[in-house]
Amino acid sequence: MFKRMQSPVAPEQDGFELCVDGTPITAQNGETVALAMLNAGIVPFRHTAVSGQARAPLCLMGVCFDCMVEIDGRLVQSCMVDARPGMRVTLLTGARDIGAAE
Amino acid sequence: MTTRECDLLVIGGGPAGMAAANAGAALGLKTLLMDEQMQAGGQIYRNINGVSGHLGALLGPDYLHGRELAARLRGSAVETHFGTLVWEVTADREVSAQKNGQSFRLRAKQIIAASGAMERASPVPGWTLPGVMNAGAAQIALKSGASLPAGRVVLAGGGPLLFLVACQLMDAGAEITAIVETSPAANLLRALPHLPTALTAPAYLIKGLSMMRKIRVAGIPWFRQASALSIDGRQQVEAVRFHSRGQDQRIAADVVLLHHGIIPNTQIGRMLRIEHAWNQGQLCWHPILDSWGETSSPGIRIAGDGGGIAGALAAEASGMIAAYGAAYTLGKITEPERDRGTAMMRRLLDRHRRIRPFLDALYQPPEWLLQPSDDVVVCRCEEVTAGRIRKMASQGCTGPNQTKFFSRCGMGPCQGRICGLPVTQILARELRRDPGEVGAYRIRPPLKPIPIGSLAALDSTTTTGDDYGN
């Protein structure tokens, strides 16, 4: 849904990898997880717990919670977390099943 | 063990927060600054310390102005804590915050909350579809990660930021296929009486005109006085629909950027139960402040756009004024020193505010946006529609806090940040009352959801705060 700007002076850096639902994506230094996911073309970010609607970020500044994902086991706003090599991101798919394992 | 103390805690690292912290430290206050983001700058100066020369030049001198504030902060005695979420502030100025997944407490003699602004919600049919974002979000992607929306981009709404984002995205190489202005024709008449005042500080007007000229010269289709805005799509955005130029329009799009002005982020003040007033000019709440930024809760001040929308330069001035107010209260400076030290900032503040009545009237959001049709989702988290809110009003619901009981409206993870204003406005219309009487959501700690594990270190015997920040 997003793309990185072509810079006439600074060639694109190599970046690093993180994993979204088991699939590696490339992020650049300084990108938040949300921006790395947008640049990787991940749509949607989640399905709502209420009706299963598809959602992606609205605000990118920590207000809307539509970029919510699970990172290394924690629910977070992905726009408020810097991407790091090796992060494991899990997308949310509707309401949690309370009776499920864990 | 004792809770850690400081003279001044500044919450928020945007222009108001940086200016307040810099001034506080310079006046000899032991000053801490906390911000949830990983870097100083807030949204307006986002990534100001890391931006490349090329991107900085593209974003322009108004953005690069933030460099000076950020450099002064780095060279100051301010103890900064980024990546730190303040989740509770009490009236006796005890603060709970979380950093690296752990919560800690501290006490501040004075607090300046500079939590800034956010974009007004634009609840139109289809606004929950992936690919629909706030215009400010695209600007954040540009500033923070040199990224821009891919494919066909349509900007819809009204206000200076809409044009600024359009110009910056154009320069960055985005494909803007249309600008859809929703400001009604009547706004111009309402704005005209404020033009003479705006002309006494003409820099903003000149910038606005030059942005509009740039868009015209680029030949981007520009629709005005659009109404009946909606967004089509199944799994994500496919097109924007609206009525303009006497007919129904449909424009294919991959990304739609909405913007209907910015409003103060009042979550901290609401949590503190400080007094707020409804601002009929800006159609939002603002906290009631004295001339030193102090709220109805002694020792707690609000600076910057969180106290009322006036822009980054006004925010900087109000941050400094609040810090002088704090230093005077703590006996660090005398009354003449306080007044002399802030005289120039007061003149600046006055000048930067002169454009506001004109802009507020010119870009007042259209009635159809403030009163969405029944099928539009207003509370995005709990998926509560405008129709459901109206029905609650007819069933005897008298204010936003009762809609929570009826429908969970405003009780999702965003805690009413997005839907708070529209819910108040819809209820006010249905109940035929003033929004100021209808009121706003009651906000309770934690200000954002935090994991239970974060509280582990918080029991009274271990609350030292000594080891936070490691």
ipTM: 0.94
Distance CA B275, CA B30 (A): 28
pLDDT in tens, chain A (102 residues): 999 997 655 556 679 999 999 999 999 999 999 999 999 999 999 999 899 999 999 999 999 999 999 998 899 999 999 999 999 999 999 776 666 544
* Residue B37 phi, psi (nearest 5): -75, 165
Distance CA B37, CA B54 (A): 23
Which residues in chain B are contacts of A55 at CB distance < 8 A? 128, 130, 380
Distance CA B208, CA A33 (A): 34
Tokens of A48: 């709502």
> Do A58 and B133 lie within an 8 Å CB cutoff?
yes
User: Parallel, antiparallel, or unpaired for β B247-252 and B237-244?
Assistant: antiparallel
Distance CA B155, CA B464 (A): 49
Pair B181, B160: CB distance under 8 Å = no
Pair A50, A8: CB distance under 8 Å = no
Cis-peptide, bond into residue B445, ω within 30° of zero = no
Domains of chain A and CATH, by start: 16-93 (3.10.20.440)
Q: Is B152 on the interface with A (CB under 8 A)?
A: no
> Do B52 and A9 lie within an 8 Å CB cutoff?
yes
In chain A, what is the greatest distance between 2 CA atoms, to the nearest angstrom? 54
- pLDDT score recorded for residue A95: 76
pLDDT in tens, chain B (470 residues): 446 899 999 999 999 999 999 999 999 999 999 999 999 999 999 999 999 999 999 999 999 999 999 999 999 999 999 999 999 999 999 999 999 999 999 999 999 999 999 999 999 999 999 999 999 999 999 999 999 999 999 999 999 999 999 999 999 999 999 999 999 999 999 999 999 999 999 999 999 999 999 999 999 999 999 999 999 999 999 999 999 999 999 999 999 999 999 999 999 999 999 999 999 999 999 999 999 999 999 999 999 999 999 999 999 999 999 999 999 999 999 999 999 999 999 999 999 999 999 999 999 999 999 999 999 999 999 999 999 999 999 999 999 999 999 999 999 999 999 999 999 999 999 999 999 999 999 999 999 999 888 988 786 544 444 444 43
Start-to-end CA distance of chain B, whole Å, equals 19
Show which of residues 330-389 on chain B sit within 8 Å of chain A, judged by CB atoms.
Answer: 380-383
Of A5, A62, A66, the CB nearest to B146: A5
Distance CA B428, CA B439 (A): 9
Which residues in chain A are contacts of B380 at CB distance < 8 A? 55, 58, 64, 66
Pair A36, A23: CB distance under 8 Å = no
Pair A21, B162: CB distance under 8 Å = no
Show which of residues 246-285 on chain B sit within 8 Å of chain A, judged by CB atoms.
Answer: 254-255, 265
- pLDDT score recorded for residue A99: 62
DSSP characters for B318-359?
Answer: HHHHHHHHHHHHTTSS-HHHHHHHHHHHHHHHHHHHTTHHHH
* Residue B289 phi, psi (nearest 5): -125, 150
Of B118, B131, B255, the CB nearest to A61: B118
Which residues have CB under 8 Å from A65's CB, separation 6+?
A77, B381, B412, B413, B414
Which residues have CB under 8 Å from B439's CB, separation 6+?
B399, B400, B401, B424
Containing A70, the helix (H) or strand (E) segment is strand A68-71
- Whether the CA torsion B271, A51, B123, A81 is positive or negative: it is positive
* Residue B345 phi, psi (nearest 5): -65, -35
Show which of residues 175-214 on chain B sit within 8 Å of chain A, judged by CB atoms.
Answer: none
> Do A54 and B236 lie within an 8 Å CB cutoff?
yes
Tokens of B288: 């009631």
Tokens of B243: 């009525």
Cα dihedral B299→B303→B307→B311 (10° resolution) = 180
Domains of chain B and CATH, by start: 4-118+263-333 (3.50.50.60), 121-260 (3.50.50.60), 371-438 (1.10.10.1100)
- Gap from B329 CA to chain A (nearest CA, Å): 33
In chain B, what is the greatest distance between 2 CA atoms, to the nearest angstrom? 71
Q: Give the residue numbers in A contacting B (CB under 8 Å), as ranges.
A: 1-10, 28, 30-32, 35, 38-39, 43-45, 48, 50-51, 53-66, 68, 74-75, 80, 82
Pair B118, B262: CB distance under 8 Å = yes
Pair B42, B20: CB distance under 8 Å = no
Cis-peptide, bond into residue B446, ω within 30° of zero = yes
- Gap from B274 CA to chain A (nearest CA, Å): 21
- pLDDT score recorded for residue A10: 57
Tokens of B21: 């912290």
Distance CA A89, CA A20 (A): 5
Query: 3-state DSSP call for residue B76?
Result: coil
Pair B368, B228: CB distance under 8 Å = yes
Q: In sequence order, which ranges of B111-153 are alpha helices (DSSP H)?
A: 135-145
- Gap from A13 CA to chain B (nearest CA, Å): 12
Q: How far is CA B229 from CA B190, B237, B286, B399, in A?
A: 23, 14, 28, 28
Residue closest to B163 by CA, chosen among B123, B239, B222: B222
> Do B235 and A60 lie within an 8 Å CB cutoff?
no
Query: 3-state DSSP call for residue B78?
Result: coil
